[in-house]
Amino acid sequence: MDKDKVKNIRRAAKGTLTRAFIACKNLIDAQRPVVEVKEAFDVVKNAYNGLEVKHEEFTMVLDDTQYDEAEEWMQACNSEYMKFSMMYNDYLNANVAEKENDDVVNQAINEDGNNANVDGENDENNSVNDDQKSLDMHEPAEDKLSSVTKNVKLSSPFAMKHEKPKLPKFDGDVRQYFIFKSDFQHAVEAHCSERDTLTILRSCLNAQPAKLIEGISSDLKTAWKYLDQNYGNPRVVSDTVTSDLEKFKIIQPGEDYRFCELVNLVRRSYNILKEVKRKQDIDNTHVISLIERKMTKDDLR
């Protein structure tokens, strides 16, 4: 397969995606109806899926060095797509909130309008004089304004806006894998489709972990399986943490700051092993003796 030809095909797919971005963004900026924007975003999604396919075909003809560079390029495209998706979702949410407020206002006006008609009929039946009837006709209008204002206020409570949490990242450190997986599943997997979740997962992985799930386009379960096999072995995590303790240099007299470093290392190691359900690997006489050997006599007193 000719590498230059495949690269040009991928470039064309990126151009298609860029044009789809621009078209959809123009509709959002113009505040076009949600239906139109949704149709345009479907085009964006299809263009991105097409780019993924062309990128995977391109990486098949690359060596390891070229592959890492290509993955960085694709991750940049993925980040651009995710930012655009967030902007699109914000637009949808804003339109939904606006529609709900309009519905509340219209409902309040209709209800008060009906009340005004009932009051008018009662006035006629009771033969109220013209001045009194005029007064009664104005009261519903004031009530209407008060009711509408009240309903709008109730439907639009004050809420502080917080910065959106950033997506977790994983660089291949087995110590961080379990926490990364837990954070990712909580923040992303519970709220997105399987295909979108896998797309976001790629953007959260550095080049080496991302290489493990190369070629997987929609099977999220398999992607996690490959990552678990390489980074999710509790025994490997335990060995790595124990190795950190063994490599810690013995504290010399006067190095009080290094005693603090040792304490932090022990705490961090315990938390990691607790996360992988192997805290017994640090809470034993062998490791405790190892830690004590790193300390000075004054520290042991």
In this predicted model, what pLDDT tens digit does every residue of 196-211 receive, in sequence order?
Answer: 888 889 889 998 899 9
In a domain, 117, yes or no: no
**Residue 1 pLDDT:** 63
Q: So what's the pLDDT on residue 135? A: 46
> Which of 213, 232, 251 corresponds to the end of one domain?
232
Between 64-125 and 34-59, two packed helices, what is the crossing angle to 10 degrees?
170
- pLDDT tens-digit profile of 134-180? 545 545 545 554 555 555 445 445 556 666 667 889 999 999 999 99
Please tell me the predicted confidence (pLDDT) of residue 216: 86
Mark whether 80 and 10 lie in a shared domain.
Answer: yes
Same-domain pairing of 249 and 206 = no
Residue 228 counted as domain residue: yes
Say if 121 falls within a structural domain: no
Total number of domains constituting the chain: 3
Q: Is 215 left (phi over 0), alpha (psi -120 to 50) or beta?
A: left
Domain interval for residue 276: 235-294
Pair 206, 283 in one domain = no
Which regions in the chain score pLDDT beneath 70?
A: 1, 96-165, 301
Question: Distance between the two ends of the chain, CA-based, in angstroms?
Answer: 70
DSSP letter for 185, please.
I
Let me know whether 227 and 243 are in one domain. no
Do 180 and 170 meet the contact criterion of CB atoms below 8 Å apart? yes
Which residues neighbour 192 within 8 Å (Cβ) at sequence distance 6 or greater? 200
pLDDT given for residue 128 in this prediction: 47
Domain final residue, candidates 76, 98, 120: 98
For residues 7 and 82, membership in a common domain is answered with yes
Judgement on whether residues 239 and 225 belong to the same structural domain of the protein = no
> Considering the domain boundaries, does residue 164 fall inside one?
no
**Structural contact between residues 196 and 203, judged by C-beta atoms closer than 8 angstroms:** no
How many residues comprise the chain? 301
Q: Is residue 290 part of a domain?
A: yes
Longest alpha-carbon distance in the chain = 104
Examine the domain organization and report whether 8 and 77 are in the same domain: yes
pLDDT for position 114:
58
Q: 43 lies in a domain? A: yes
Domain shared by 43 and 79, yes or no: yes
Are 195 and 220 in the same domain?
A: yes
Assess whether 13 and 55 both reside in one domain.
Answer: yes
Q: How far is CA 129 from CA 118, 136, 142, in A?
A: 17, 11, 21
Residue 42 sits in the same domain as residue 92: yes
Of the residues 98, 119, 147, which one is the last residue of a structural domain? Answer: 98
pLDDT at residue 55 in the model: 86
Question: pTM for the whole thing?
Answer: 0.47
Name the DSSP class of 271. Answer: H
Instruction: State the Cα–Cα distance between residues 280 and 238, nearest whole angstrom.
Output: 10
- Same domain for 17 and 50, yes or no, is yes
* Domain annotation covers residue 183: yes
Residue 270, domain member (yes or no): yes
Per-residue pLDDT, 231: 93
